[in-house]
């Protein structure tokens, strides 16, 4: 007999609506949670958040500019596997003296102590290792995570 599974049949099955509600709440929390980092750094000492940017192409490049334009962060490192590509030129020109990397592990290894937060604007399949390594080092992250895919 064809039977639709329900929540009562399988307590571990998460209802789509409940899941989406949780995701939205988590997203709202992240947005709010990111604010104290910027606020603390700027209010206490006038320091800016030292931001490393991983994936500086299309959307990642737009993120770099948006975050920089807040005036609350300084860009301390740029990372892109295709650093010489035309779509990274805009950011390279805007930040000519910022150290560049093609491997996020080298960037975090070499500059970890000088980085407060990492912006992750690489394709979806590469978000996880970059965000996890950064968070495991105590860094804040901004990740271009799609809500559904
Ligand atoms: N918020 C939005 O409206 C919006 C819109 C478009 C894309 N996105 C998201 O932004 C992210 C990037 O999308 P895109 O369209 O700019 O992709 P893209 O492929 O055009 O650009 C990704 C950039 O990351 C670089 N890159 C790839 N792997 C890397 C790695 N391991 N380390 C460092 N750099 C790496 C690439 O060389 C490229 O410059 C995706 O997660 C996508 O879902 C969000």
Shortest-distance Cα residue to atom 42 of ligand 1? 123
Shortest-distance Cα residue to atom 3 of ligand 1? 59
Please tell me the predicted confidence (pLDDT) of residue 51.
98
Mean pLDDT calculated for residue range 70-91: 97
Query: How far lies 98's CA from each of 1, 74, 92, in Å?
Result: 64, 10, 8
From 96, 93, 109, 104, select the one nearest 143 (Cα to Cα). Answer: 104
Query: How far lies 31's CA from each of 38, 51, 52, 72, 97, in Å?
Result: 12, 16, 18, 15, 30
What's the token pair of residue 115?
């980085």
Please tell me the predicted confidence (pLDDT) of residue 83.
97
Task: Measure 32 CA to ligand 1 centroid, in angstroms.
Answer: 24
pLDDT above 90: residue 78: yes
- Residue 47: band (very low, low, confident or very high) from pLDDT cuts 50, 70, 90: confident
Mean pLDDT calculated for residue range 15-19: 52
Please tell me the predicted confidence (pLDDT) of residue 4.
52
- pTM, two decimals, is 0.78
Domain ranges, ordered by start, for the chain: 16-143
DSSP letter at 55? Answer: -
- 16-143 fold: Rossmann fold (3.40.50)
Please tell me the predicted confidence (pLDDT) of residue 52.
98
Shortest-distance Cα residue to atom 37 of ligand 1? 82
* Among 27, 31, 55, residue to substitute to test ligand 1 (most atoms within 8 Å of Cβ): 55
- Taking the CB of residue 42, how many other CB atoms lie within 10 A of it? 16
Span 87-146, pLDDT tens digits: 999 999 999 999 999 999 999 999 999 999 999 999 999 999 999 999 999 999 999 987
Q: Give percent above pLDDT 70 in the chain.
A: 67
- Taking the CB of residue 136, how many other CB atoms lie within 10 A of it? 9
Ligand 1 site, residue 57, Cβ cutoff 6 A? yes
* Among 79, 121, 131, 146, residue to substitute to test ligand 1 (most atoms within 8 Å of Cβ): 121
Please tell me the predicted confidence (pLDDT) of residue 5.
47
Who's near 32: CB < 8 A, 6+ residues apart? Answer: none
């Amino acid at each position: 007999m064809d039977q639709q599974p329900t929540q009562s049949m399988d307590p571990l099955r998460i209802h789509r609506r409940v899941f989406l509600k949780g995701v939205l709440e988590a997203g709202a929390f992240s947005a709010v949670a990111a604010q104290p980092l910027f606020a603390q750094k700027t209010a206490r000492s006038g320091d800016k958040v030292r931001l490393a940017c991983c994936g500086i192409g299309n959307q990642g490049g737009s993120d770099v500019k948006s975050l920089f334009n807040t005036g609350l962060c300084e860009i301390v490192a740029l990372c892109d596997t295709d650093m010489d590509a035309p779509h990274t030129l805009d950011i390279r020109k805007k930040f000519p003296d910022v150290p560049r990397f093609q491997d996020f592990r080298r960037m975090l290894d070499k500059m970890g102590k000088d980085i407060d937060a990492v912006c992750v604007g690489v394709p979806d399949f590469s978000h996880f290792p970059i965000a996890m390594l950064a968070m495991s080092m105590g860094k804040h992250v901004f990740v271009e995570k799609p809500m559904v895919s």
